Structure 1
Amino acid sequence: MRATWRTSCGASTTAFPHRTLSVDVYRIHDRRFHALSGFGANARGGRWNPRGVPVVYTSPAYEGTLLEVLAHMEASHIPRGHVASRIVLPNRRDVQVLDEADFPDWSDRTASRDIGRDWIESQRSLALQVPSHVAQPWGRNVLLNPRHADFDRVRVAEVVDVGWDPRLF
């Protein structure tokens, strides 16, 4: 099944056609690696990419990033060595949205990896907003494509230690 794509900007960019509206997204990662490396997803694969295809997983909300990390943890202890990065995408129009109505079986890993690989290889957009499996039904993640020609315009604006609440563990 082919996915349908749309931009995420809506009327906001047409109301101010000369203004570019940047987008903040968030990522929690091992401090040993740069926030935009895509190393982990490239090495292991993920819901939206097969192994060997780099992508950077982010969330439009910091809380979503926390939830994604917690869902993938195997231990019940406070993780050490993680930092949170606030990443700025240069323009809201750089984000496309996966239309779930045309992709009802998105939670199937094989199908979602095929969709992700197609999006990455097509270089259709710098970023793709996709459903979050752990934050259904409304949660979203934003994938960043390191192979996109405009990826060098993405910047890490801030890096801070993660303030893990011990009650989560």
Structure 2
Amino acid sequence: MFVYRITKVAYADRLVASGGAARWNERGQFVIYTAATRALACLENVVHRSGEGLLENFRVMVIEIPDELPIDAIAIDTLPTDWFDFGQYDTCQQIGGEWLRTGQSVILKVPSAIISNEYNYLLNPIHHDFSRITLHHTEPFAFDPRIKD
């Protein structure tokens, strides 16, 4: 399976996590966020960058996950109805934190808060299977200039 991450050129040559807080992890928990499609990866950037800095140099990271690796998944029907709301970050961070603490899988499939029925894949870089996940290649990427910077 291939997943995608759009990042600035300076960070596109390796699979690393910043440890910054996000929807599914607290600050200090290292998680690499990827998307099921290039389009979803683009939207994630637009939403999280709030339209700022989209004219810089970016790359699409095409990441290969071996099919035999187990994937844990968060079923949307197990989440609060407003899970996607900013006010529910704590709930989502607890779920992601528990996944990291148990270490039962290197991949967690989570629903996209942007597009219904789309998914992001979180990668745990300290899991023993992480070395089996590879950066297959990178591709040039430019945000459409109609997206306001």
Q: TM-score, normalised by structure 1?
A: 0.78
Aligned mate of 1:142, from 121, 137, 141: 121
Q: Deviations over 1:70-114 (max 9, x none)?
A: 001234563312211000011254222112222235331000000
Superposed, 1:19-34 pairs within 5 Å as 23-33=1-11, 34=13
Q: Match of 2:103, as an amino acid?
A: Q
Counterparts of 1:93 and 1:157, CA distance in 2: 16
Aligned residue for 1:71, secondary structure, equals helix
1:166 counterpart SS class: coil
**RMSD of the TM alignment (CA)?**
1.7
- 8 Å CA contact 1:87, 1:158 repeated in 2: yes
CA distance in 1, matches of 2:120, 2:143: 20
Task: For structure 1, list consecutive stretches of 5 or more residues without a partner in the other structure.
Answer: 1-22
Q: 2:136 & 2:44 partners in 1: Cα distance?
A: 21
Relative contact order (C-alpha < 8 Å, sep 6+): which is higher?
Answer: 2
Deviation string for 1:22-77 (max 9, x for gaps)? x10000112222441012xx0x2100000000000000111000000000123456
Contiguous gaps of at least 5 residues in structure 2: none
How far the C-alpha of 1:134 sits from its partner, in A, is 1.5
Matches within 5 A, 1:1-169: 23-33=1-11, 34-39=13-18, 42=19, 44-75=20-51, 78-105=54-81, 106-107=83-84, 108-135=88-115, 137-169=116-148
Indicate conservation of the 8 Å contact 1:84/1:159, yes or no. yes
SS of 2:47's equivalent in the other structure is: helix
**Contact 2:25–2:94 (8 Å) recurs in 1:** yes
Give aligned pairs, total: 143
TM-score normalised by structure 2 residue count: 0.87
List, as ranges, runs of 4+ consecutive aligned residues in structure 1 with deviation greater than 4 Å: none
Contact 1:29-1:35 within 8 A present in 2 as well: no
Distance, in Å, in 2 between the alignment partners of 1:113 and 1:77 is 26
Distance in 1, Cα, partners of 2:143 & 2:79: 35
Question: CA–CA distance in 2 between the matches of 1:81 and 1:47?
Answer: 25
Q: Distance in 1 between matches of 2:92 and 2:46?
A: 21
